[in-house]
A and B are shown apart, each in its own frame.
Chain A
Amino acid sequence: MTVQQHVPKQNSPKENKYDPNESKYAKSASEFRANVSRDLSNDELKSNFRGAMDYLMDKRKVALSNEDELETLREQCKLIKQRCLLKLPTLLEQLEQNLEANGIRVHWAETITQANEIITTLIQDKNGKTVVKGKSMVSEETSLNDYLEDRDIECLESDMGEYIVQLAHEHPSHIIMPAIHQNKKQVADLFADKIEGFKHTTDVDALIGEGRRVLREKFCHADVGITGVNFAVAETGTLCLVENEGNGRMCTTVPDLHIAITGIEKVVEFLDDVPPLLSLLTRSATGQIISTYFNMISSPRKNGEKDGPKEVHLVLLDNGRSQAFADEEMRQTLQCIRCGACMNHCPVYTRIGGHAYGTVYPGPIGKIVSPHMLGLEATNSLPTASSLCGACGEVCPVKIPIPKLLLRLRSESNKPANTDGHKQIMKGEGSGRKKVEASIWFVWQLMHKHAFIYNSSMWFATRLRKLMPAKIGVWTSVRSAPKLAPKTLHERVKAHQAQTKKQQS
């Protein structure tokens, strides 16, 4: 089989340099604070999310009620992913070898633009004009839809949630349920507005029926199907997809060309690594013991077969993953199997919703992975936007220590200027360091390291407590100011011990 030369037709080949600002999400991520302000005041949004998160948390709880099983599975899945990450380069090579032997072509992209260029070329080579998409968060990362539309290739989302979001010119607000920020009335209004001939109703069966009708026609006539991948099995050269709707099957079966795109961390070593991961993925995500369909693709259409794509391609994307990989602690970020449990349990996500983050991946996982994809400079507000409650780490099926990684990112963000020439660990490290804050902690350190400074400072503070301001910035916008005690505990203990001695003598 000849290797096709994939030389981009449009622009001259870009220098292969990872530029965090390549993605439009760098801008929206840096607008986090403004986004939060906007969404916190949206009561309908908050109500939608509260309802949705409660639903998902309850479902998961029921499905994973056997604590023994849950903890055994979590440990097993963590170790599986850690093993696969330790062997990552070898497994990627093995995956490519076996996929190619099966007739599935493999392409590699360091940057999101490279990925888009590869995909566009594959489509243009076949004069493809219409693409139907199964759900792929990685394709959101590359903003593939926009890229294709700019080149006159129609790209229609077929997952119901993605379809709704595309109609509304929005982005997904959750990695599993893209339209979770909308309630059924909002969807009904949207359909009535955008779909010709649709009669307004909030009956969900009718709404879904309408989506089915519109998209069925697209499946029938699309030139290309594009999907993501949940697990890529190195041992057998197999791409596995998890879904409930059947649109993934449609995209991977009906058009003559199927292109799959995924991150380099999605490869697993053995076929029998899949069952435990699948079992914990679906139950962590939606509380289902299994998704309606589990699709395992190992080759394009073979001789004698009557359907299936004639060509299947896989695009492997880096986009900052190798940066996370390079640090042993942050490598754990790549254990993620994209279940969404972390965001379902996050009190911050529940209140600000998924769009406020301005990143492709919202919630706790979004906070620890986006700095690698978009650079720390654009995402500096994210690691601090957490009370470190730990609800996410508690439910993560692969035991990613998310609070610990948030702390690590805060540390990287506050790093002093690289005066000793140490190897840069992250793009944008130190970009969050503020002189004022650094001075505060410097003084704090002095005070708390030396007890006599501490004790005397506190003596003054307590004696002057009536001078404590009643308004302390944002704290006192919803709370009264804390009140210093008349005497410190240090002093009170001295008195208490003196009194006890007196009583004893």
Chain B
Amino acid sequence: MSTQNKTPSQTSKNNILAKLKEQVGGADYTKLSKEFAYQYPALSKAEQKKQFISLLEANHAEVIMLEPQEIPTMIRKVLTTRGITRLLGGKASPLENYLLELTNNNSAENTISIQYYDFNLSDPANKDRLFNESPVSITSAHSAIAATGTIVLWPTTEEPRSLSLVPPVHIVVVEEKTLYQDFDSLIKAQQWQNKMPTNIILASGPSKTADIQQTLAYGAHGPKELIVLLVP
């Protein structure tokens, strides 16, 4: 649609681009210098795993190595030691079977109630519940990065963005086989540029800040605790 009257934004756009093009319009890109990346030594899978865990732990995340079938029991343990009886998870997520099993194993003495994030956050009542009545959440992870101790989250319709953000304790299940040495090789191997989702989060520990006299404090606005369940 073209109108006679340009909006201020369009006018600004034309002015800005005109000024920039005046300088570099017709620039010869072949004269650009070649860019060299630093060649990091290749790490074995075992070394990558070790680096991944030690960096996460240095950032105050808790890393638990276990087999997939142990997940429901471990979740129960994590919640019970914190005196928590409610867990928020994604509906029809990759973790669905674990959550079902968790429910099946509920006893009179030890009941974990699973809530599913299948509501619209825009509703103020839902926001209130998410912010005030959800002590712990659990999500799966898309992949992981060893060089920086990072968990890659690709939120989906099943596991929304705020699921891993708002509850003060976040449990994340990471598969070792999705571990890459560094961010660069992950992007290239999976060709991310062709399929960027609504949102990707690289999370490397519980939230923190050093804004007050450079003193590190954990649990700023994001989760205070990040618990990583690392399966093969």
Contacts and interface: CB of A to CB of B under 8 A. Distances in A.
Interface in A1-58: 2-3, 5-8, 13, 16, 48, 51-52, 55-56
Nearest to B128: A220
A245 B215 contact: no
Contacts of A72: 36-38
A306 B130 CA distance: 12
A289 B23 contact: no
Interface in B160-217: 160-162, 165-166, 182-184, 187-188, 192-193, 196-215, 217
Contacts of A272: 184, 187-188, 193
Contact of A254 (B9, B121, B213, B214): B121
B15 to A, nearest CB: 6
B20 interface: yes
A215 B198 CA distance: 25
Contacts of A299: 198
B127 A220 contact: yes
A108 B20 CA distance: 14
A240 to B, nearest CB: 9
A87 B29 contact: yes
B211 A164 contact: yes
B13 interface: yes
A204 interface: yes
Nearest to A163: B211
A193 interface: no
B199 A308 contact: yes
B211 A160 contact: yes
B17 A89 contact: yes
Contacts of B21: 89
Nearest to A289: B148
Given A16-B15, A307-B121, A118 B9 contact: yes
Interface stretch (A75-83, A360-368, A386-394, A495-503): A75-83
Contacts of B59: 292
A79 B13 contact: no
Nearest to A68: B38
Nearest to B59: A292
A462 to B, nearest CB: 51
**Which of A187, A212, A256 counts the most B-chain CB atoms under 10 A from its CB?**
A212
Contacts of A293: 201-204, 207, 222
Contact of B220 (A235, A247, A296): A247
Interface stretch (B66-74, B77-85, B100-108, B112-120): B112-120
A208 B212 CA distance: 8
Interface in A289-307: 289-302, 304-307
**Which of B37, B160, B199 counts the most A-chain CB atoms under 10 A from its CB?**
B199
B32 interface: yes
Contacts of A245: 207-209, 220-222
A296 B200 contact: yes
Contacts of B24: 85-89
Interface stretch (A175-183, A349-357, A435-443, A483-491): A175-183
B186 to A, nearest CB: 9
**Which of B7, B25, B37 counts the most A-chain CB atoms under 10 A from its CB?**
B7
A164 B212 contact: yes
Interface string A364-401: 00000000000000000000000000000000000000
A292 B221 contact: no
B106 to A, nearest CB: 26
Given A208-B209, A245-B221, A290-B148, A297 B198 contact: yes
A161 interface: yes
A465 interface: no
A415 interface: no
Nearest to B91: A306
A19 to B, nearest CB: 14
Interface size range on A against B: 35 or more
A476 interface: no
A216 interface: yes
A69 interface: yes
Contacts of B214: 51-52, 55-56, 177, 180
B74 to A, nearest CB: 24
Nearest to A291: B204
**Which of A219, A302, A328 counts the most B-chain CB atoms under 10 A from its CB?**
A219
Contacts of A306: 117-121, 157, 160
Contacts of A85: 24
A76 B204 CA distance: 25
Interface string A215-228: 11101110000000
B109 interface: no
Nearest to A256: B122
B12 interface: yes
A89 B23 CA distance: 10
Interface stretch (A123-131, A136-144, A318-326): A318-326
Interface in A176-234: 177-180, 182-184, 187, 204-205, 207-209, 211-212, 215-217, 219-221
A216 B204 contact: no
B191 to A, nearest CB: 9
A429 interface: no
B55 interface: yes
B12 A219 contact: no
B196 A296 contact: yes
A220 B205 CA distance: 23
Contact of B196 (A80, A238, A253, A278): A238
Contacts of A295: 199-201
B42 interface: no
A177 B204 CA distance: 20
Q: Which 4 A-B pairs have the closest CB atoms?
A: A246-B222, A245-B220, A307-B121, A161-B211
Interface of A: 2-3, 5-8, 13, 16, 48, 51-52, 55-56, 68-69, 72-73, 75-76, 79-80, 82-83, 85-89, 92-93, 96, 102, 107-110, 114, 117-118, 158-161, 164, 177-180, 182-184, 187, 204-205, 207-209, 211-212, 215-217, 219-221, 235-238, 244-247, 249-250, 253-254, 256, 264, 270-272, 274-276, 278-279, 286, 289-302, 304-308, 310, 316, 318, 322, 325-326, 328, 331
Interface of B: 1, 7-13, 15-17, 19-25, 27, 29, 32-33, 35-38, 40, 55, 59, 117-122, 124, 127-128, 131, 147-150, 157, 160-162, 165-166, 182-184, 187-188, 192-193, 196-215, 217-223
16 contacts: A5-B7, A6-B7, A16-B8, A80-B35, A114-B9, A177-B214, A204-B212, A208-B217, A244-B220, A245-B221, A249-B201, A272-B188, A296-B202, A297-B198, A298-B197, A318-B16
